[in-house]
Chains A and B, each alone.
Chain A
């Protein structure tokens, strides 16, 4: 059986909010290392991959592999009943029909309990090859969100060009063009404001802004975001979850090609 307790319901609320624009139904795959999720959007352009390690929970118990097939809009409805600071416990039997969610207020004076019906989801599982990316950029997550939203006013796609000079996000549309260039810089007092660029070779790729803006719904989960790029492979956009236990929310986006 599964029994996992999260100190802050907020974490799951935000994860579900961040991915529900891309995916309707998906399996939460539970095993002794934690809860994982992988799903593609309907158009096969974007993929979300989440890992919540057992260490993100206290306690965490899962004896065998359990797939929880969940409709995300139904889960959103149930999670609306959880206050952000509530303690959230997820429970399921082996081969379950429902997942049980319990929300406790931190003052322990209220306990809410919900059972969410599960569904059978036959999900395609993709293998993601280990990639040595040519460029990786670590930057404030809110800055990335701002850039994507601003450039979406200009065009539906953005080119991301990374050289040793910096990283340039550029868009060209009917009304004109726009670009934002970030140079590497360290902020000692506020490290979350730093921009770090790790480059082995220059990269230039184009992506759909609609998807990138969708990914940035994860912004409130982490102060920083990491973009990893190589020519002619999908972009990886990564948010670290719940500090330092290597839990993550990753998005992959197929590049656009040709002109």
Chain B
């Protein structure tokens, strides 16, 4: 099963 990414890896803290 593919691993689930975390959204934080794509979006920065505003």
Which residues of chain A have a CB within 8 Å of any CB of chain B?
Answer: 40, 44-47, 124-129, 156-157, 206, 208, 233-234, 252, 254-259
Contacts of A44 in B (CB 8 A): 6-8
Q: Which of B5, B12, B13, B14 contacts A254, CB < 8 Å?
A: B5
Expressed in whole angstroms, the minimum distance between the Cβ of A24 and any Cβ of chain B is 17
Expressed in whole angstroms, the minimum distance between the Cβ of A128 and any Cβ of chain B is 5
Grouping DSSP codes into helix (H, G, I), strand (E, B) and loop, the A interface class, with mixed when no group exceeds half, is loop
A182, B6: Cα distance in complex, Å: 29
Which residues of chain B have a CB within 8 Å of any CB of chain A?
Answer: 1-14
Contacts of A255 in B (CB 8 A): 5
A255, B1: Cα distance in complex, Å: 13
Contacts of A128 in B (CB 8 A): 11
Check B14 against A157 for contact (C-beta < 8 Å): no
Contacts of A125 in B (CB 8 A): 13-14
Expressed in whole angstroms, the minimum distance between the Cβ of A2 and any Cβ of chain B is 23
Q: A44-B7, A45-B7, A47-B7 are in contact. Are A258 and B2 (CB under 8 A)?
A: yes
A126, B14: Cα distance in complex, Å: 5
Q: Which of B2, B10, B12, B13 contacts A234, CB < 8 Å?
A: B10
Check A254 against B6 for contact (C-beta < 8 Å): yes
Check B3 against A256 for contact (C-beta < 8 Å): yes
Expressed in whole angstroms, the minimum distance between the Cβ of A178 and any Cβ of chain B is 17
Check B11 against A208 for contact (C-beta < 8 Å): no
A124, B13: Cα distance in complex, Å: 7
A126, B10: Cα distance in complex, Å: 10
Contacts of A208 in B (CB 8 A): 4
Expressed in whole angstroms, the minimum distance between the Cβ of B7 and any Cβ of chain A is 5
Check A254 against B10 for contact (C-beta < 8 Å): yes
A128, B14: Cα distance in complex, Å: 9
- By beta carbon, the residue of chain B nearest A234 is B10
Check A256 against B7 for contact (C-beta < 8 Å): no
Check B2 against A206 for contact (C-beta < 8 Å): yes
Expressed in whole angstroms, the minimum distance between the Cβ of A129 and any Cβ of chain B is 7
A152, B1: Cα distance in complex, Å: 15
Check B13 against A259 for contact (C-beta < 8 Å): no
7 A-B pairs within 8 Å (CB atoms) are namely A44-B6, A45-B7, A126-B14, A129-B10, A233-B10, A252-B7, A254-B4
